[in-house]
Structure 1
Amino acid sequence: MRSNFIRAEIFRLTSLGVPILIAQLAQTAMGVVDTLMAGRYHADDLAAVAIGNSLSLPIVLLIAGIMIGNTAISSHHYGARKFADIGESTRQSLWLGLPISFLAMAMMFNADIVLVIMDTPAHMAVISQQYLYGFAMGFPALIGCLAIRTMAEGMGQTRPIMIIGIISFLLNIPLNYALIYGKFGLPELGGAGCGLASGIVLWLQLLMFIAFSRRAEFKASGLYQKISKPDVERIKEIMKVGLPIGGAMFVEVVLFAAIALILAPMGSTIIGAHQIALNFSGMVFMIPLSLANAITIRVGHTLGQGKTLKARAITFTGIGYGMVLALITACFVFYARDWIAAAYTHDTAIQSAAVGLLFYAAIYQLPDAIQACANGALRAYKDTRVALIFVIISCWGIGLPVGYVLGMTDWWLPMMGAKGFWIGLAVGLSCASFSLGARLLWRTERTIEHYKKRSI
């Protein structure tokens, strides 16, 4: 493979991926602002917001994953220059997403059932439920945002996503302030105000996405030229690609929640260290995740053009790029782990425990990047169902059992506590990277052979 091709593709992947990364960082920063501002109001509100977020996050990720199916489909249409099909696919993703959003709203409106099962203190449960009321009111807007966002990604237009993400972050701060503390004539809602602010921001985001999608670069999609009736075949195609993506996201976030619950009896020091390592590694993971989205777009465009050999070259260039970035982040986490832990807390016991866990977080940067990038490429090939199975087996069939045995028993080694679970995560992610990499090799060869047969 010529070096100029590799350099050109790395430039294209970076150009697509950096705006997505910034948008994701802005979204994460909104959650940090919610936590900080609720915490300054009252400790109970901080805990209630954290509980509300933990209940809503899996649902939001599942919805987002399903809608991401439109990114892969739109990228194929864009590569094939079938612009009208991009608009049609986006309209059908709305028909798919809106009923799901109403179902999710119903679940959030009745979250008090789960809060009772969790034995949440009554005064905190009230705040959490009110937080979810406000946030859930924005779910229909979330569907509209995701539909237009996935269309824009499929067309390679990622800068508008970045701009909207930054503006949304800036809007969230004064809205939080006004609704938490009751400023500018608005009611004082405490932590529940964070949820309502998030819901309002989602509707403002939708207005911004609509405004951006009416610009000249999106005109060819014909998104607003007509109102389409539900098309069962197109909806099934989006579901076929997107549901496994959402399922994989849901499985991973529930895994981390399960580990936190298992570790809970070990005390606040262990839980605090685990949360520090988890939070920081989650932020670092946005780098390979953004690159994975860029790989989906580039490979999708190329497959849409019928250039299967070039698609394979882009795929493995992207994975190689991800591996290099992972080695850099691994070195950073390893050498800066003392500083990272100190930045989160002044408690020396938590710092010491977090430093130990960050060591394992550094180790799994490489397999995590490989599995993320391989997943991104498989999305472009519309091969997501088997990837979901591999993720379930790797996380729940290998990672969690290994982590539990090492962390909570002395069957193999003396009980390691939280470190055992992080070793299990590294083992599970390594298995995922190997299995997804093997699947990707098979899929690229199969696609090349398929196109060769069609051309004969």
Structure 2
Amino acid sequence: MLSSTVMTFTDRMFLGGYSLHALSASVPASIAAFLFMCFFMGVVEYAGVFVAQYTGAGQPHKVGRAIWQGLWFCVPAGLILAGMWFLAEPLFVLGDHPPEVMRLEVIYFRILSLGGLPFLLGLGLSCFFSGRGLTKPIMVVTMIGTIINVPLDYCLIYGIGPFPELGIAGAGIATVIGYTLPVLMYARLVFTAENERTYRVRSAWRLDRDLFSRFMRFGLPGGVEFFLDIFAISFFVFMIGRFGEVELASTSAVFSIYNLAFMPIIGLNIAASIMVGQAMGDRNVAQASYATQSVFHLAMAYMAVMAVLFVVFPEFLLNLFRTRGEGPSDFSAVVDMGVVLMRYAAAFTLLDAVAIIYVGGLKGAGDTRFIMVVIGVASAVCMIGPILALYMLGARNIHGPWICLLAYVVFLATAFIVRFKKGPWQRIEVIDHKAAG
């Protein structure tokens, strides 16, 4: 996940150096692309929980079948995402951002949408390793992708050497290439004769209606909750764009910096899901609870360090996005506002870590419907309703939306801690322990 963070961060840093418009457009466009992708991501990644539970239950011969249900889901999902190309212009017209920013948003969004299928296939294949607790292959594949993506990103944005200067389009193309290469590497690692003997990764390619139905039962709520969460964040960013260009640029820079904290925590979220899934597959509730608490302690230690960095070095971090050729005064308004927002981000990181880790634990146990309902309620009550009301009432101060964002994560963190402590997740059956063969 840190490798993914490096790709995202350098992408936006290079775009910030290319033009302020490109930086302003990159976050709304990438969040919008991620918004439509995240529903399918939430479903596909649940294959990892099935793999984990089959592993914990001592049924490795069902692992290949679980992986293939996720891969079959990826095909129509990728085609739907590619079709978002045609909705790009009307979508970003709703944002009402400055014309040049909107033009760049459309370009970036369209290219990222085409990368949906390879991204989902790579995610689905990675579940073969993550679900069994083997994260080193995933780390190696992602690091190789990062090593290729970062310089390619720079070359395609600025036009270095034989590469044309494509600006934000170059960033999108480099990202899609970064999605595609892992698919090829994972396929080579997964579909081996040895894995076929133990996990049936080749022979179990057919659609299993019963297993696919169970996969949808638990995976679809996971996809919906992921979509609702990202929709709330997307709405937040789009509305900030209506507050002003400086507000949008500073928020974009802060969110890009926040990704340094966020993406590794998503890695820990997955770790919690897998460890809980394996424990629940073995019907070991005590181990599932212990695993979640252990991951939570790691997450809080990491987030505490990031929060301190956000508060102590905000100017340094924000100036990484200074546009090439701009004088000290040109970017000063963005930095001044960004310093204030970085303090909000510091508090947000700690609260978000609580919610993310406990979501991972609940998801690994199959409690996906509760997560979906809570995030839906929090999105409406804490984010969408209040921010829309502030805008309609003419309250365009940047503090209002950010306070709503903090209220949102407080709501989520509280709800998920209480749910986990009460323990209804302990009685959920994700896999059929009695099934054989």
2:325 aligns to what?
none
Work out whether 1:441 is the aligned partner of 2:421.
yes
Work out whether 1:375 is the aligned partner of 2:352.
no
1:418 aligns to what?
398
Superposed counterparts of 1:180-329, under 5 Å: 191-214=168-191, 218=195, 221-226=198-203, 228-329=205-306
Look up the equivalent residue of 2:213 and give its one-letter code: K
CA distance in 2, matches of 1:176, 1:223: 38
Query: Among 407, 411, 417, which residue is 1:431 paired with?
Result: 411
- Residue deviations 1:406-452, cap 9 Å, x none? 78869xxxx68222222222222111111111222233574399xxx
Look up the equivalent residue of 2:354 and give its one-letter code: I
1:351 aligns to what?
335
Superposed counterparts of 1:1-400, under 5 Å: 24-37=1-14, 52-115=29-92, 131=108, 134-176=111-153, 191-214=168-191, 218=195, 221-226=198-203, 228-345=205-322, 347-400=331-384
Look up the equivalent residue of 1:314 and give its one-letter code: A
The CA RMSD measured in Å over matched residues stands at: 3.5
**TM-score, length basis structure 2:** 0.83
Look up the equivalent residue of 2:82 and give its one-letter code: M
Q: What is the total number of aligned residue pairs between the two structures?
A: 424
Distance 1:265 1:403, change over 3 A: closer
Greater mean alpha carbon deviation, residues 354-363 or residues 99-108? 354-363
Greater mean alpha carbon deviation, residues 40-49 or residues 219-228? 40-49
Does the residue aligned with 1:212 lie in a helix, a strand or coil? helix
Distance 1:366 1:110, change over 3 A: closer
Distance 1:448 1:320, change over 3 A: farther
Distance 1:137 1:351, change over 3 A: closer
| Identity between Structure 1 and Structure 2 (%) | 23
Task: Report the CA distance between 1:75 and its aligned residue.
Answer: 0.6
CA distance in 2, matches of 1:41, 1:153: 37
Task: Report the CA distance between 1:282 and its aligned residue.
Answer: 3.1
Look up the equivalent residue of 1:57 and give its one-letter code: F
Look up the equivalent residue of 1:355 and give its one-letter code: V
CA distance in 2, matches of 1:272, 1:119: 15
Determine if contact 2:9/2:260 at 8 Å carries over to the other structure: no
Determine if contact 1:295/1:318 at 8 Å carries over to the other structure: yes
Task: Report the CA distance between 1:69 and its aligned residue.
Answer: 0.9
**TM-score, length basis structure 1:** 0.80
Unaligned segments of structure 1, at least 5 residues? 1-23
- Residue deviations 1:171-208, cap 9 Å, x none? 22454466557788777755434333333333322111
Task: Report the CA distance between 1:287 and its aligned residue.
Answer: 3.6
Distance 1:37 1:324, change over 3 A: closer
Greater mean alpha carbon deviation, residues 223-232 or residues 430-439? 223-232
